Amino acid sequence: MLDISVIVPLYNEDESLPELAAWIERVMNENKFSYEVIFVNDGSRDNSWKVVKSLSEKNANIKGISFSRNYGKSAALHVGFKDAQGKVVITMDADLQDSPDEIPELYKMIMEDDYDLVSGWKQKRFDPITKTIPTKLYNAATRSMSGVYLHDFNCGLKAYKNEVIKTITLYGEMHRYIPVMAKWNGFERIGEKVVQHQARKYGTTKFGIERFLYGFLDLLSITFVQKFGKRPMHLFGGFGILSFMIGTIITLYLIGDKIYAIANHLKFRNVTDNPLFFLALVAIIIGVQLFVAGFIGELMTRNSDKATDYQIRETVG
């Protein structure tokens, strides 16, 4: 088994790839690591894939996977994780803002300090304020909701034990929450390392402000899936029974009130003339629908295998 697998998702980064590959190779040779570098081309429209193929021809340790279109960073990491053979798996961005010089210390923290996962923390960032302030708010919200206390969930430079990444399925924008999913899967030894953040040397950022909105929605999604993904009846059935009971109690109250009025020769009106009756009817219908939704969810959970497929056009190495 190799010492290290380095997974590098990329999208339109042809200028930085030769420099990054040479930098990684130097660090690996200096530390005598056995390694592989997996470049995952996420549907780039420039010459990135040609550069990856050229690098692979020159260095047998470099491999490449190319998507037929742009799926996103989570998809790129997902297929990279599936192929990774190293005892320690390290992820980094392709834009040279993550330093390969951090690799030996990250490897040591996994292998010697026995962390399951180590996340980088870009304590000093070279990003505009329009990016740093939303990042701080996003990190605070994620810490609060997940119970994982990291300063920088979005840092691309992370290290994992191989068995950790094999338990994780990524889609959407879930790559930000790998530490959260790892903890929920039982890998609770999560460390953090201050890493150097370098100013972007080539090109422009591929992410806009909308990623924070999508990221927050994905946080809600994985929180729901983790708590109720294997037992949807507990959520839908619980709310369904509550709604059904409320509707039933209101209906019984209205019927009882009419019977009491008749028995005591008091003025009364038909149950169907009372607005509360329609509220009760809606509550009962919603309760039944929620219960059925929970039942169907249970059937789907029992009879389906979770899989995520991405169309790969070509591989090298």
Q: Check pLDDT > 90 for residue 204.
A: no
- Pull the structure tokens for residue 35: 């390694």
Give the helix ranges, DSSP H, for the chain: 17-30, 48-58, 73-83, 103-111, 129-146, 162-165, 178-184, 210-228, 232, 238-263, 275-303
pLDDT at 313: 79
Q: How many CA atoms lie within 13 A of 90 on its CB side?
A: 28
DSSP string for residues in 124-188: S--S-HHHHHHHHHHHHHHHHHH----S-TT-S-EEEEHHHHTT----TTGGGGHHHHHHHTT--
User: Looking at 89-103, 108-122, 141-155, 232-246, which range is the least confident one?
Assistant: 141-155
pTM for this prediction: 0.72
Query: How many whole angstroms separate alpha carbon 48 and alpha carbon 67?
Result: 12
- In tens, the pLDDT along 209-219 reads 556 666 667 77
The larger pLDDT score, comparing residue 312 to residue 309, is at 312
Q: Check pLDDT > 60 for residue 208.
A: no
pLDDT band at 28 (very low <50, low <70, confident <90, very high): very high
Distance (Å) of CA 232 to CA 169, 220, 243, 298, 306: 19, 15, 16, 6, 15
pLDDT at 311: 73
User: Looking at 5-19, 204-218, 227-241, 253-267, which range is the least confident one?
Assistant: 204-218
Query: How many whole angstroms separate alpha carbon 88 and alpha carbon 36?
Result: 11
Q: Check pLDDT > 90 for residue 109.
A: yes
pLDDT at 293: 87
Is domain 2-228 classified as CATH 2.60.120.380? Answer: no
Query: How many whole angstroms separate alpha carbon 163 and alpha carbon 192?
Result: 19
State residue 70 phi and psi, 5-degree precision: -80, 115
pLDDT at 39: 97
End-to-end Cα, the chain, rounded Å? 17
Query: How many whole angstroms separate alpha carbon 227 and alpha carbon 223?
Result: 6
Query: How many whole angstroms separate alpha carbon 206 and alpha carbon 218?
Result: 19
pLDDT at 130: 58
How many residues make up the chain in this entry?
Answer: 317
Q: String of b and e for 263-277 (b: at least 16 CB within 10 Å)?
A: eeeeeeeeeeebeeb
Q: String of b and e for 104-133 (b: at least 16 CB within 10 Å)?
A: eebbebbeeeebbbbbbbbeeeeeeeebee
Average pLDDT, rounded, for the chain = 86
* Strongest mean pLDDT among 115-119, 152-156, 302-306: 115-119
| Nearest alpha carbon to residue 99 among 192, 19, 154, 175 | 19
pLDDT at 210: 59
- In tens, the pLDDT along 173-186 reads 788 889 988 988 88
- In tens, the pLDDT along 41-53 reads 999 999 999 999 9
pLDDT at 46: 92
